[in-house]
Chain A
Amino acid sequence: MNEPHFRAPSLELRGLTLRYEGQPLFEELDLTVQAGRFTALLGASGVGKTSLLRIAAGLAVPDAGTVQAGDGQKLAGRVAWMGQQDLLYPWARALENVTIGSRLRGERADKPRALSLLEAVGLAGRERALPKELSGGMRQRVALARTLYENRPIVLMDEPFSALDAITRAAMQELAARLLAGRTCLLITHDPLEACRLSHSLYVMAGRPARLGPEIAVPGTPPRALDDEALLHKQGELLRALLEASAA
């Protein structure tokens, strides 16, 4: 069930320029999100990460540049998006939130699949719960199940775990890495540890107009253990790079 029934294409952002009130947020920005792998984009708040992700999701239009799939086919309908909050609809029960995409498109909901996804995120038996009856971590699990239900080869994530406490966040990171494996994932975050745990490769976004640093490869396979030495070393290295970038 977790195995996607597709070959995920790479996601290619080419020459993206976005201006905000006349000032360029980023200019001529290129990024390739490798097919079937987790890529993290790290940067301080306000650097333009969210804007970049919104453009990739088709929610915003850049002043210049293109967003394409590496296999040359159309992107529409192949991208799922996880926002900073769980964005569960408070009037819908957990199961209805998972299948909300079907309802919004006027399709029949695939209930058995939604139930098995809720089970996969550890929420078996809570399908009738309203969002207000669930904890923050549980709600984010429902959001993950909802993303998986959409079954899109490309998944864009905008700091989806930032509102969670440290322990819940660590658990969610593992769950997401496991269940989203094989998809082309772009995760933006300001948490170096999260970037290191989850991604195959990562980039630092900094400056104004913002630029992407060179690709940083993280050894090993995500999700990496929290006490992995290479991970901790990489995290320290990254934090220093981020500090230098923000001081520059």
Chain B
Amino acid sequence: MKTILRPMVTLLGLLALWWAVACFAGIPAFLLPGPGAVAQVLVAQRGFLLQNLLVTLVEIVLGLGLGTLFGALLALAMVFSRGLQRWLLPLLLLSQAVPVFALAPLLVLWLGFGLASKVLMAVLVIFFPVTAAFYDGLRRTEPGWLDLARTMGASNFSILVHVRLMAALPAFGAGLRIAAAVAPIGAILGEWAGASEGLGYVMLNANARMQTDLMFAALVLLAGMTVLLWVAVDLLLKHALHWAPEG
């Protein structure tokens, strides 16, 4: 019960603060609409908003799936071969050194206004935490576990699959949690750089037309979706890694 109550209190607190600032700070409504006005937009334009939310959700979920897969494969490749690791590691760092903001217009130019550029943006944001955490986990296997497997006559490949991979799953899970939290950034950035639908597109348009209440409505939906996505990933991981010792 407490696990639900606490976030609710935080949420209500934030709403109250928002309402108080909007009401009493003398900020005009076109700069900061109150919760009431935003709620009205949410209800009035629910069809339009839901449609755009689904677009963004598909982008994020596809990006998360592909980014996680790609990130995990990359980590495995680096652990499997030292040669590959030497080639991949600088590329990996380079991919993070180039700001995603700078890449967004280019990807839209190359891949078009549709889904592909947004998913790729999301993948770019997502794969790195997954790769970094999983790679780290694969390299830091408890030495005793490896010794034991060796005395039992296990091959290196068998040790990788049955011991190192399994032992790295909690680290992989930690990377995935971060990925789930930052996943929307890529999709939204992609939509800002050029799109014809999606919550990011709605925000950008509403902002340009001074429809601040609509922009806030889209923002609220995006935040809610991100939290729910994270909670879903967290529950999934807790279930899959139920064997992991706590803490």
Q: Is the CB of A101 within 8 A of B147?
A: no
Which chain B residues lie closer than 8 Å to A247 at the CB level?
none
Say if the beta carbon of A166 comes within 8 Å of chain B: no
Q: Which of B148, B159, B167 has the most CB atoms of chain A within a 10 A radius of its CB? A: B148
* Number of B interface residues in the complex (CB < 8 A): 23
Say if the beta carbon of A79 comes within 8 Å of chain B: yes
Within 8 A of A (CB), among B124-167: 142, 144-145, 147-154, 158-159, 162-163, 166-167
CB-CB nearest in chain A for B152? A101
Q: Is the CB of B154 within 8 A of A105?
A: yes
Of B142, B151, B159, B167, which one neighbours A58 at CB under 8 angstroms?
Answer: B151
Q: Is the CB of B163 within 8 A of A105?
A: no
Q: Is the CB of A89 within 8 A of B145?
A: yes
CB-CB nearest in chain B for A106? B158
Say if the beta carbon of A208 comes within 8 Å of chain B: no
Q: Is the CB of B166 within 8 A of A104?
A: no
Q: Is the CB of B243 within 8 A of A83?
A: no
Say if the beta carbon of B245 comes within 8 Å of chain A: yes
Say if the beta carbon of A148 comes within 8 Å of chain B: no
Q: Is the CB of A89 within 8 A of B166?
A: yes
Say if the beta carbon of A201 comes within 8 Å of chain B: no
CB-CB nearest in chain B for A54? B147
- The interface residues of chain B, by DSSP majority, are classed as helix
Q: A84-B144, A87-B148, A89-B163 are in contact. Are A77 and B153 (CB under 8 A)?
A: yes
Shortest CB-to-CB span from B27 to chain A, Å, is 53
User: How far is it, in angstroms, between the C-alpha of A147 and the C-alpha of B36 when the chains are bound?
Assistant: 68
Q: Is the CB of B151 within 8 A of A87?
A: no
User: How far is it, in angstroms, between the C-alpha of A89 and the C-alpha of B148 when the chains are bound?
Assistant: 10
Q: Is the CB of B144 within 8 A of A91?
A: no
CB-CB nearest in chain B for A104? B154
Q: A58-B151, A77-B153 are in contact. Are A132 and B144 (CB under 8 A)?
A: no
- The interface residues of chain A, by DSSP majority, are classed as loop
Shortest CB-to-CB span from A245 to chain B, Å, is 28
User: How far is it, in angstroms, between the C-alpha of A83 and the C-alpha of B148 when the chains are bound?
Assistant: 8
Q: A89-B166, A105-B158 are in contact. Are A150 and B152 (CB under 8 A)?
A: yes
* Number of A interface residues in the complex (CB < 8 A): 27
Q: Is the CB of A81 within 8 A of B151?
A: yes
Say if the beta carbon of A213 comes within 8 Å of chain B: no
Q: A83-B144, A85-B144, A104-B159 are in contact. Are A91 and B151 (CB under 8 A)?
A: no
Shortest CB-to-CB span from B205 to chain A, Å, is 49
Say if the beta carbon of B233 comes within 8 Å of chain A: no
Given A104-B153, A105-B152, A150-B152, 13 new contacts (CB under 8 A): A59-B151, A80-B151, A81-B151, A87-B144, A91-B243, A92-B243, A101-B153, A103-B162, A104-B149, A104-B154, A104-B162, A105-B154, A130-B242
Interface residues of B (CB under 8 A from A): 142, 144-145, 147-154, 158-159, 162-163, 166-167, 169, 242-246
Q: List 19 A-B contacts (CB under 8 A).
A: A57-B151, A77-B153, A79-B151, A80-B151, A81-B151, A83-B147, A84-B144, A85-B144, A87-B142, A89-B145, A90-B245, A91-B166, A91-B244, A100-B149, A100-B152, A104-B153, A105-B154, A131-B243, A150-B152
